[in-house]
Structure 1
Amino acid sequence: MQYSPPSKTPGRAPWRRFRPGWAPSLLVVLLLPLLIGLGLWQLSRAEDKRALLAGFEARRQAEPVDPATLQAAGAPAWQRVRLHGRFDPQHSLLLDSRTRAGRPGVELLQPFRDDSGRWLLLNRGWLPWPDRRVAPAFATPDGALALTAWVYRSPGNPFLLEQVAGDAWPRLVNRVDAAALWRELGRDGLPVELRLEPGPAAYAVDWPPLAMSPEKHLGYAVQWFALAAALLALFVYLGIHNARETSHVVAHRPD
């Protein structure tokens, strides 16, 4: 009687049960770290925005300082300041391409001379501009005003069109450069933009403190992680499917 050894099919090597192929494997090696890295970066951005909002809220609750104290402190972002003085109605700036609820408009910025002798550039808020053939309508208070404003500093370095300066006033601009304005006018002014709080000289001043909230960054992070999970799941499915197809072909191959 001839002895036959037992079959070893159930104990086949694990690599034979998972064959994704070299091309999908290379794709996963390249894309998976990138997707996870983008998700972690968005989480980091969300944490940074939370810290910025905390700083904004702390300064918003603080008592406003006078212009001298503001200048000595370096005019930190979101610092509130109390002012008393008059607007210069002759040198107004209209910041172009500012939309609200889908409506086109501009933001009105005007020099303000504080009683301390300092010049400051105040953003009085948003104005609608539905017809560009007609200049936006606005009025400048004549008398002395007591106002409260806060320092605005643009986060990051967004893409900006080339600044075009004309001779006519009010002047249409696409970015705010307070220092350049003071040089042109020959005045000693604070080189930052101040945004008015609601009051007698303000138009629409309900600016969001940040262009993108922490919640949006979290949403983007979830999207990147979901793409990474989908890529990994597809890779696993493909590897198992290809291994089964290969096993099926080998099992039915004629000897």
Structure 2
Amino acid sequence: MTADSGRRAALRDLLAPFLATLVCLAILVGLGTWQLQRMAWKQGLIAQIVARSRVEPPLPLPSPEAWDPAAQEFDRVRVTGRLLNDRETLVHGLAPGEVPGRALQGYYVVTPLQRDGGGIVLVNRGFVPTELKNPRDRAAGQVEGPVTVTGMLRASEARAMFVPAPNPQTGEWFNRDVAGIAAAKGFERVAPYLIEADATPNPGGWPKGGQLRVDLPNNHLQYAFTWFGLALCLVGVFGAFAWRRLYDGARPDPVRSETAGIP
């Protein structure tokens, strides 16, 4: 077999692997490009949320006719009224501890607020550790009388797949379900979101507000590098494979060369 005929045979053999590699390469590059687009979208979303969470002065709470949790989430608002401490709800949760990387286990104190203008809105006043679960152990933190609450609006927290279901009868809640908590406490007309209170110190130091972090994960650049890196690896693997096939195909068969012309 001559070098030219061997190379032509090798090229024919490479056609199918080349097409398969081309399809895979297009998919990998497409995924990397999509991640870059997602990164730009996430950066814009984070900037929008941060800007809305820092509005000064805070906005008034929307009227019932204008309630729109999806559009108003993360708005910074201020509302006055009276906290109904005897009807608070404790929601299981974690909060950053004093030791980095070690979280505190405890509860978020969700307290209904009777607004001056009428109506109820739930307020996440902040975090308390497990040993302060009983309101009597933090009686100094029970604010009585008129109060003004400033914080960010948050829509109802969806229950994830592995989060236990709540038990309203025993008061066990694992996600901040606005409608569920309101119904369990007997409220009929409640704002469809809660207010995440600012870090204004409460009497006695508990609950500790200001636990909300506007920190949406944005790892799309890493994902894009992963897909583009796989695309480069694919090109390298196919290039080495093709070079070997072409090089071996171009080399004459030594047995046939030695016996050529022998009858």
1:209 counterpart residue number: 214
CA separation of 1:98/1:115 partners in 2, compared to 1, >3 Å: closer, same or farther?
Answer: same
Map 1:72-221 → 2, pairs under 5 A: 72=66, 74-75=68-69, 76-98=72-94, 100=96, 101-105=101-105, 106-129=107-130, 135=133, 139-153=141-155, 159=161, 161=163, 163-168=165-170, 171-184=171-184, 185-201=186-202, 203-213=208-218, 216-221=219-224
Q: Which amino acid aligns with 2:40?
A: E
CA separation of 1:127/1:150 partners in 2, compared to 1, >3 Å: closer, same or farther?
Answer: same
1:50 counterpart residue number: 43
Q: Which amino acid aligns with 1:245?
A: D
1:231 counterpart residue number: 234
CA separation of 1:26/1:165 partners in 2, compared to 1, >3 Å: closer, same or farther?
Answer: farther
1:16-62 CA-partner distances (Å, limit 9, x unpaired): 4696574x546535543332233223222212212212222332332
Secondary structure class of the residue paired with 1:239: helix
Q: Which amino acid aligns with 1:88?
A: L
Q: Which amino acid aligns with 2:58?
A: P
1:36 counterpart residue number: 29
Could you tell me the TM-score, scaled by structure 2's length? 0.74
Which of 227, 246, 249 is matched with 1:246 structurally? 249
Deviation at 1:198, TM superposition (A): 1.6
For residues 127 and 20 of structure 2, what CA distance do their matches in structure 1 show? 49
For residues 79 and 121 of structure 2, what CA distance do their matches in structure 1 show? 10
Secondary structure class of the residue paired with 1:98: strand
CA separation of 1:244/1:190 partners in 2, compared to 1, >3 Å: closer, same or farther?
Answer: same
- The percent identity for this pair of structures is 21
> Contact (CA 8 Å) 2:201, 2:209: kept in 1 or not?
no
Could you tell me the TM-score, scaled by structure 1's length? 0.76
**Larger mean Cα displacement after TM superposition, 117-126 or 101-110:** 101-110
Deviation at 1:71, TM superposition (A): 6.0
Aligned residues: 239
Secondary structure class of the residue paired with 2:150: strand
1:59 counterpart residue number: 52
Secondary structure class of the residue paired with 1:82: strand
Structure 2 segments unaligned to the other structure (5+ residues): none
More helix by share: 2
For residues 155 and 10 of structure 1, what CA distance do their matches in structure 2 show? 69
